[in-house]
Structure 1
């Protein structure tokens, strides 16, 4: 009888251990699912991403004789591993040099052959003028990059000392960034201004460091959970709808980001290709905007960096 009671007690301990183990695993699974499903605030629906893309083609590129620009030419690629290193580097610079870096700006540029591009720069908040001021460091000095001006003046001597300006082709100096920026003004802004009348033409889009890191982490979680093999992000120019309710954003230039997997631009957890989505006009038929946002990998709604109020 005593042996039976001991055996029964042992079985009870095993069952209890198994039960607690199951409960613990359930909790871990729930936390994992919650982590995967939790999405950054500025994720937009696949439909909205497609509208931004299409508006840009119709109202900007087509208006200046660039309607033949291919999808491949529009995609501006950054490797995920390089971005992770870059953001870590910015945090190190902020700590070691005591610089309150607030975020990054995607500054617009144009290459020698006329293709649009963008490069990233860190920013600090200019409290006096109330805007995010981009900068780099050269020769141990903070050098402002004033992208609210039409043109930026090159420095007499410019060297890439700190790897703070990241382009799709690697790190560049202040003067190299200046060439890209000024070229965008000449080849795009001045031509677009003859067709699209605005008080200000966006030339940079800003995100806080926390926001952009959250987005990168989100892509990594989605990639792991859905076997997407995401290795980078693709940046695209976009244009908001003309709508007075959008205020400053109405008919304004912007950029949106989405994932790149195995050299293909994808926009959702199903690994749908953006090019395929556009060609088949799926976004025009898409009425389930909430569902498409839940599965979307597209990111937007950055600050458009208009001129300071007191400028």
Structure 2
């Protein structure tokens, strides 16, 4: 009997050791997984975000007579819950309509007053042109939105019935998006092209759905970890440096995203406002760091029209 008790005790120790080992292994796995999810690949440093912001002012706005554009006019706010619902909606559409949605593009636009904006559109890969082509669906018709073209034409009877084009102020019809797109060409592309001829002029920035979801998960986790009341994402126009190693991205327009609390862009988990991180309206402060660990800024999307090697 004693031997049996010893055997059972030994078995218990083995089982306890086994389960403790499994629990430890699972814990380590979860920690590794959490770490992998915590910092998306395209998170950029605060200093890099500030530089992109500065470059936009000096190489674009100042060059086309819009140097008095205020900081507030440079921010495009998207509600976080609405953006999350939009990404989920695109995934549902991909399944229900059997459309290979590869991601979403932030397409550049400008309103009737000339203020820049962006709107989101689903995309699918155009194999013949080798780029991510935006599209929408209206009245059961699949409509491509070729932002590689200079201007787009409105369609008859355009209505918002599928909710596939998301702006900062709600959903847009195809024609409303076209109007914004064409106005951007008139107010921002053509004045700059007259001074700086380039092979292409960026009109959209593309991210895969997984990249957008990863960024949303990242800032939600940071909000929980640091008790930050993040309500949305602010989108800012930026411009890459003139570094020749960037090839066709050199001096190219881009976008960067950062978290927002009550429509005030924050650049890190210390709740530091991007506006306060910038001096004189657009210059990065001298003590700006290049630390990415607590950054909430996101960049490095694919530009469209795309560089030949993108």
Residue 188 of structure 2 corresponds to: 188
Contact 2:54–2:284 (Cα < 8 Å) also in 1: no
Deviation per CA, 1:224-269, whole angstroms, max 9, x where unpaired? 0111111100000000001110011100000000000133210111
Deviation per CA, 1:167-194, whole angstroms, max 9, x where unpaired? 0000010000000000000011111112
TM-score, with structure 1 as normaliser = 0.87
Contact 1:36–1:222 (Cα < 8 Å) also in 2: no
How many angstroms does 1:207 deviate by? Answer: 0.5
In 2, Cα distance between the equivalents of 1:257 and 1:234?
Answer: 6
In 2, Cα distance between the equivalents of 1:282 and 1:62?
Answer: 17
In 2, Cα distance between the equivalents of 1:223 and 1:25?
Answer: 27
CA RMSD in angstroms, aligned pairs only: 2.6
- Selected match of 2:287 from 285, 288, 292: 285
User: Which 10-residue stretch deviates more, 79-88 or 259-268?
Assistant: 259-268
DSSP-derived class of the 2:235 partner: strand
Residue 4 of structure 1 corresponds to: none
1:232 aligned onto 2:267: no
How many angstroms does 1:195 deviate by? Answer: 2.4
Residue 114 of structure 1 corresponds to: 114
How many angstroms does 1:282 deviate by? Answer: 5.6
DSSP-derived class of the 2:223 partner: helix
Change (3 A) 1:31 1:223: same
How many angstroms does 1:24 deviate by? Answer: 5.0
In 1, Cα distance between the equivalents of 2:71 and 2:175?
Answer: 29
Contact 1:87–1:213 (Cα < 8 Å) also in 2: yes
Deviation per CA, 1:19-77, whole angstroms, max 9, x where unpaired? x88x9599659836862673111111111000000000001001111111111110000
Change (3 A) 1:25 1:264: farther
In 1, Cα distance between the equivalents of 2:104 and 2:255?
Answer: 13
How many angstroms does 1:199 deviate by? Answer: 1.2
1:59 aligned onto 2:54: no
TM-score, with structure 2 as normaliser = 0.88
The count of aligned residue pairs is: 297
How many angstroms does 1:139 deviate by? Answer: 1.1
Residue 295 of structure 2 corresponds to: 296
Contact 1:147–1:204 (Cα < 8 Å) also in 2: yes
In 2, Cα distance between the equivalents of 1:91 and 1:81?
Answer: 16
Residue 141 of structure 1 corresponds to: 141
Gaps (5+ residues) in structure 1?
1-8
How many angstroms does 1:295 deviate by? Answer: 1.1
1:31 aligned onto 2:33: no
In 1, Cα distance between the equivalents of 2:105 and 2:61?
Answer: 22
Which runs of structure 2 are paired with 1:1-311 in the superposition (5 Å)? Answer: 28=27, 31=30, 35=34, 38-279=38-279, 283-286=285-288, 289=290, 292-306=291-305
In 1, Cα distance between the equivalents of 2:205 and 2:263?
Answer: 25
In 2, Cα distance between the equivalents of 1:99 and 1:284?
Answer: 48
Contact 2:105–2:122 (Cα < 8 Å) also in 1: yes
How many angstroms does 1:283 deviate by? Answer: 4.7
